[in-house]
Amino acid sequence: MRRYLIRLGASVLVCLLLFMLADRVWRLPEPERVRSVLILAQDRTPLRAFADNEGVWRYPVTLDEVSPLYVEALLTYEDRWFYQHPGINPFALLRAGWQWLQGGQVISGGSTLTMQVARILDPHERTVAGKIQQMFRALQLEWHYSKAEILTFYLNLAPFGGPIEGVQTASFAWLHKPALALSHAEAALLAVLPQAPSRLRPDRSPELAQRYRDKVLRRMATQGVWSQEIVDDAMLEPVMKLRFQQPLKAPLFAQRMKARAFAAKVSRLQTTLDTNTQWAVDNVLRNRVNSLPEKASIGVLVVENRTGYVRAYAGSANFHDAERFGHVDMVQAVRSPGSTLKPFLYGMALDDGLVHSASLLSDVPLKLNDYAPQNFFRHFSGAVSVAQALQQSLNVPAVDVLQRLTPSVFVARLRNGGVVISFPEQAEPNLSVILGGAGTTLEDLVRGFTALARGGISIKPRFAEDDPLEERRLLSAGAAWIIQEILRSIPPPEGSTNAVGVAWKTGTSYGFRDAWAIGVSDNHTVGVWTGRPDGTPLPGRLGVAAAGPILFDVFRALPNAVDVKARRRPATVIQTDICWPLGESVAQTPVEHCHLRQQAWILDGNIPPTLPHLQQHSWSAGLQTYWVNPVTGLRVTAACNTSERSARQVAQWPLELHPWLANHMLEKIRLPAFDRSCPPGSEYQSGTQLAIRNLDASSQLYLPKDVSGQAIKGVTLDLLAEGGEGQYFWLVNGEPAGVDTKRGGLRHTFTRAGDYELTVFDMAGSVDKVSIRVISQP
């Protein structure tokens, strides 16, 4: 017996050594071979699958992502002794061989699940040599992998008909549900399909598939795994003839994630996308897409403020619509941001102590070197606060503030805060950047706006939960809070409501090529772009009308859409009343110098005065000192010999604002006429009131015509004034017409018929206006 045991042990040892040698020579094919890629939502719902190079579809799963009912049905029907045998079940092989010898055909298979996996990894012909090869590969699998790993290989590699492999793919293909949600009948169906995947495809032969399924169900009752009552109920469930459809949710996002999955060499990637939020956004786009102009598209990005997780991503309005360039991802496209950068500009100006929320700005014609910015609707508002300039998206005040901050500093701070601004090669930042004269992406804009809800710190959008957290300081907490409060006061678009308390900003690029709306609530930041991906214009499509309603549709559809928390004001922010035109607090300003009170948000206790004007021919807000003769109350010069002259002061508005001031404001700053006993010495100081000459409300001009009756060139008029002090500044319908430095008249040509308002103001701030009419000759 001892010799026998020694020989047996030696034989086993030799066999083991030979097996180990063979294992090294004929290596087991890698089970983690190149596969298709599956992109998943956060709840593991498939978003989109990408076939491998052979066109095979696989949705990789783990063992815990498959219903235990399926595992029970599979092991009971295919391999009851899976956890006991070493990869080969000799009793099953002997039974299968005996049945083949007796019947001359295969009655029951002898292959274990391990052997089936071996054949998938290393296909062979149905010969004795092929079977030996299969058994050897099965032993290799058991040598290198655990039972759980081998079962997982089967779950992912088993054929289920056509290009479908793996139980998860089959479950979505034939049952339209995940493998974790299978019923008893569905589990039995999927357990039997790999036996004859082509013949039993439910989309082709549902009756045959049902007969084989019922066979499995009866086996489950016979083996006592499932009760007869459960099996009887399951057999009542019909096999439906469902069409195989690939999931296609957030297709451009999934395509973007596919590249990441390939780079990481993973066959599936679980993202942060929320299924319900994505569905809500897709539904908004479905409702909106038919109202878009031809070739127009939409991009939407939804980011959770706290985590930075991307919860919804729509790169286009309709992925399948080639006419709308549905394959172009507008979340990543570099486009002109229009006015959407203005909140960051004013936030930085707050941080630098240049302004507070009610600082006086001038929305008037402005020319800096050769650059003369215009407001979008080609008119000016005169005196505006920082809050009004931002809410109304006025261009001139923004350029004015940017000139002081400097474009290079502004762009550098944006980039440092995570908002990348792109310029043409070798181009430098300039003043036009604040009006859209550069490029950025919807993704970067959304990142920047998250700072408004996160204490001034932006967060980079995260596409997977293991993405690193990247935060950047863009604004101080106080500046971010103030800007958010200003933007929250903007009324929603017509037909929309702002129950969520959204702080939002729109933008329209030059030529109506891009329409934007970016909004921030407590929980989410949402960005919307609409336009034509090919860059052709859509005249008249403004951000507020084209993108704004979509923005509020998305916010209304988001989860927790009405969860508005009490917003905590930073300790660095206080509210106080300030005075125009000086810009200082009411407490610091004498009553006679406080022409208009404004309520302001103040940062860090800093109340900066009104900014000095940039143009040399103008003056800034401030106290103007003048001398009066106390006897007559008239003005005298400082050099006058009147012994009892006294100094007076008046709070002056910036000179360029005078044409826009109401009459009662002008009266407050109008200086007394000069005393004839002590007149000024300058020829430009006449001591008489400023007035336009030779024109009044009844004045009419006629456009001349040529012999064919067509208007030619226009009609030219000399604009003349008298009185006042210093040179004359002329405006025609609020637009600068020129400066009459010598007070001899300014020639102006009217080229179109219509009503015109002529305005003149002088160095003392006096203003006179008159309206005239230009008429086409009959």
Phi-psi region of 30 (alpha: psi -120 to 50; beta: other; left: phi over 0): beta
Please indicate whether residue 186 is annotated as part of the active site.
no
Global pTM?
A: 0.81
- Rounded to the nearest 5°, which phi and psi values hold at 471? -120, 145
When pLDDT is averaged across residues 465-482 and rounded to a whole number, the result is 96
Phi-psi region of 765 (alpha: psi -120 to 50; beta: other; left: phi over 0): left
Q: Can you say how many angstroms the Cα of residue 26 is from the centroid of all Cα atoms in its chain?
A: 53
CATH fold for the domain made of 691-776? Immunoglobulin-like (2.60.40)
Instruction: Could you list the beta-strand ranges (E) of 396-538.
Output: 457-459, 471-473, 503-508, 514-520, 524-531
Tell me how far apart the alpha carbons of residues 625 and 615 are, in angstroms, rounded to a whole number: 21
Instruction: Say what percent of the chain tops pLDDT 70.
Output: 89
The pLDDT-based confidence of 589 (bands split at 50, 70, 90) is very high
DSSP tally for the chain: helices H, then strands E: 21, 28
Q: Can you say how many angstroms the Cα of residue 156 is from the centroid of all Cα atoms in its chain?
A: 36
The pLDDT-based confidence of 671 (bands split at 50, 70, 90) is confident
When pLDDT is averaged across residues 57-65 and rounded to a whole number, the result is 87
Q: Which residue has the higher pLDDT, 761 or 166?
A: 166
Please indicate whether residue 339 is annotated as part of the active site.
yes
Tell me how far apart the alpha carbons of residues 310 and 468 are, in angstroms, rounded to a whole number: 13
The predicted-structure confidence for 242-257, as pLDDT tens digits, reads as follows 877 778 899 999 999 9
Q: Would you state the torsion angle of the CA atoms of residues 109, 214, 244, 45, taken in this order, to the nearest 10 degrees? A: -90
Percent helix, strand and coil across the chain, each to the nearest 5: 35, 20, 45
Choice among 67, 336, 339, 521 that is catalytic: 339
Tell me how far apart the alpha carbons of residues 390 and 483 are, in angstroms, rounded to a whole number: 9
Q: Which residue has the higher pLDDT, 667 or 407?
A: 407
When pLDDT is averaged across residues 105-116 and rounded to a whole number, the result is 68
Tell me how far apart the alpha carbons of residues 121 and 110 are, in angstroms, rounded to a whole number: 18
Tell me how far apart the alpha carbons of residues 353 and 142 are, in angstroms, rounded to a whole number: 72
Rg (CA), the chain: 40
Closest to 701 measured CA to CA, from 746, 656, 756, 650: 756
The pLDDT-based confidence of 106 (bands split at 50, 70, 90) is very low
Tell me how far apart the alpha carbons of residues 512 and 125 are, in angstroms, rounded to a whole number: 66
Q: Which residues are within 8 A (CB) of 71 and not within 5 positions of it... i.e. 6 or more apart?
A: 63, 151
Tell me the two tokens of residue 710.
């067509």
The predicted-structure confidence for 186-201, as pLDDT tens digits, reads as follows 999 999 999 899 899 8
Q: What is the CATH number of domain 31-235?
A: 1.10.3810.10
Question: How confident is the prediction for the chain on average, in pLDDT?
Answer: 87
pLDDT of residue 173: 87
Q: Which residues are within 8 A (CB) of 184 and not within 5 positions of it... i.e. 6 or more apart?
A: 69, 73, 217, 220, 226, 230, 231, 233, 234
Number of neighbours of residue 520 by Cβ within 10 angstroms: 31
Strand bridging mode 360-363 / 382-385: antiparallel
Choice among 78, 165, 304, 656 that is catalytic: 78
Closest to 500 measured CA to CA, from 469, 478, 528, 523: 523
Tell me the two tokens of residue 1.
């017996």
The pLDDT-based confidence of 107 (bands split at 50, 70, 90) is very low
